[in-house]
Amino acid sequence: MRNAPRYALPALAVFLLLCAASAAQGASCFGTGFVSTGDGTLIRISSTAGTVVGAPLTLGTAGAQFAAVAIAPDGLHAYVTDSTNHVVYAIDTSTFTVTATITAGVGDATALAISPDGSRVYVANQTARTITIISTVTNAAVGTAIAVPGADLNAVSVSGAGDKLYVARNNGTLYALSTVRDSLSLQTTIPIAGLANATALTLGADGESILVAVEDGSTLVISTATDAAVTPSPYATSAPNRPLAIAMAPDGSQVYLGTESASTVTTLASGSAPPVSLGTTDPVRSVAVTPDGRAVYALQPSAAIILSPRGERVAAVDLPTTAARSVAFCPYTVADAPTTTAATAGDGSARVAWVAPANSGGRPVLDYLVTAEPGGATCTATGVTACDFTGLANGTSYRFTVRARTEQGLGAAGVSSSPVTPQRVLGKLALTIRQPQVTVTQGGVIITTLVTATAAGTIAQTVNQRGKRRCSVSRRVLTAGDYQIRCVLNDAVRVLIRRARLSLTVRTTFSPANGAVAADSRSLVLLRRR
């Protein structure tokens, strides 16, 4: 950039720190801007650091001139027009690589706009006076280019509802075209007072108006409901000289006009500020506001000038080009999918935990929506990354998915958890030991225990004397009920009780088919028997 004064680093550092605080939630694309250039390169810049990111991406063939860049609402792709080679490039915003090269027709592909649902890209072929419609699903033109009769095309913008395409023509009028069925049929011709040419268009923050920069320095607001100018214009202050760019703050509080010969940015609001000189003679080709509204970027051929929301110059980003043409920033998006979803089953319940998404689309996560399948039961977690489900059916296998919600809506669902099956938690095993339960025979001693099992499973019993096992037995049962289990002690025990009484420990366990093991230990004294 030529003759550009620099602000002291502390002021820049404080400003960018404020921007970074908002971007800490960032998405894969949020916090990144793209600059198209007339020398056939695409440049990445960081809106949070105020720097160029990496090396430029060179596209197309020799002589390529990039006139405009726009970013899809989901932030996954940027689209760049090549006015020399009559093509549009689709760029993966995370990898900074070309995913498609799409023929746009002929006649200087200079301007483009993307539908609110991200399904269509509308490309204005300036001198051919046609509009090419591109499907972002197929990355191909939809039919042939559609003629727009009359003068050359300067700019395009799509209504917030996506049902109209507004085209600025080089004869002091706007066209409102219906986008229904991709026909682009003429709906209304909107004249501009004095037949001055519209040089730039942008969608208003309310989604129900189109803002128009007019070459005489005035700013019009067109209602998308009536296709007529709002009178009187909310912006009485005019910009000096010929404005080439227009942008609006996300909250609608400010409008920014970048002008050509005066190298200024004019901030329009209810209390309009005077134009801010950028300190050079370079024209302002494009103006863009970061999605958080914390910074305004005024693009000149070799630098992006950073302004505060009030339009005060803060810093500048030197660009590796002398032909910058257009700048756009990745929008807020829905959050990425949460990861590492895991579930633990309980009695008619399950606890689900997950890891928060690394990228939340630039907005803080408000809450998480957890869904159980089958059944579709949901649980909402606020401020935590775990949720407890109740009312689940025992014996049914469930999987769980998690989605993060921000002000932009619900994000994608993460990978389902592994299946878990809730089961009834069994209470303490009930044992009945009747006295005496000992039968002494010539061959040994028999201990009989009555066990109440609460479900199908395995009953096991051991009899120990001072840590020495004297008996071990088990029995499998198929249903709940009362069962006898017998442990036969060998003849050595019979010999012992002839000499003295004997203290034993009888331990009985019940292992259900599903659930925790229950156990009970009892002391038993065998009296001396001759």
Contact 346, 424 (CB under 8 A): no
Q: Are residues 402 and 434 in the same domain?
A: no
DSSP 330-345: PPP-PPPPPEEEEEEE
- Does residue 509 sit in the same domain as residue 365? no
| CA gap 415, 317 in Å, rounded | 40
pLDDT at 227 over 90: yes
Instruction: Provide the percentage of residues in the chain whose pLDDT is more than 90.
Output: 54
Could you report the per-residue pLDDT of 281-329, keeping only the tens digit for each? 899 999 999 999 999 999 999 999 999 998 889 999 999 999 999 999 9
| Amino acid letter for position 310 | R
pLDDT value of residue 303: 95
In a domain? residue 352: yes
pLDDT range class, residue 258, cuts 50, 70, 90: very high
What pLDDT score was predicted for residue 22? Answer: 38
Query: What are the DSSP calls for 364-416, one per residue?
Result: ---EEEEEEETT--EEEESSSSEEEE-SPPTT--BEEEEEEEETTEE----PP
- Residues 275, 312 within the same domain: yes
Domain match, 89 and 196 both: yes
Q: Give the CATH number for residue 249.
A: 2.130.10.10
Q: Which helix (H) or strand (E) holds 17?
A: helix 9-23
- For the ranges 17-21, 87-91, 267-271, 498-502, the maximum mean pLDDT occurs at 87-91
Q: What is the three-class DSSP state of 441? A: strand
Residue 3 lies in a domain: no
Number of domains into which the chain is organized: 3
Domain that holds residue 374: 339-410
User: Are residue 215 and residue 109 in the same domain, yes or no?
Assistant: yes
35 within some domain: yes
In this prediction, residue 28 carries a pLDDT of 59
Same domain, 85 and 188: yes
Among the candidates 377, 410, 443, a domain finishes at 410
Shared domain check, 194 and 77: yes
pLDDT of 100-109, one tens digit each? 999 987 778 8
Q: 355 and 267 share a domain? A: no
Evaluate whether residue 114 is within a structural domain: yes
Task: Tell whether 376 and 484 lie within a shared domain.
Answer: no
Say yes or no: 228 and 365 in one domain: no
Per-residue DSSP letters for 285-304? -EEEE-TTSS-EEEEETTEE
311-329 core/surface letters (b: 16 or more CB in 10 A; e: else): bebbbbbebebebbbbbbb
| Structural domain contains residue 422 | no
Task: Tell me, yes or no, whether 444 and 385 share the same domain.
Answer: no
In which band, very low, low, confident or very high, does the pLDDT at 147 lie, cut at 50, 70 and 90? very high
CATH assignment of the domain containing 504: 2.60.40.2550
pLDDT in tens, 60-87: 777 889 999 999 999 999 999 998 888 9
Q: What is the domain-level CATH number for residue 383? A: 2.60.40.10
Q: Is residue 100 situated within a structural domain?
A: yes
Q: How confident is the model at residue 24 (pLDDT cuts 50, 70, 90)?
A: very low
The verdict on residue 415 lying in a domain is no
Last residue of a domain, one of 410, 439, 460: 410
Residue 400 CA to residue 113 CA, distance in Å, equals 39
43 & 142 share domain: yes
275 in a structural domain: yes
Boundary residue ending a domain (329, 357, 388): 329
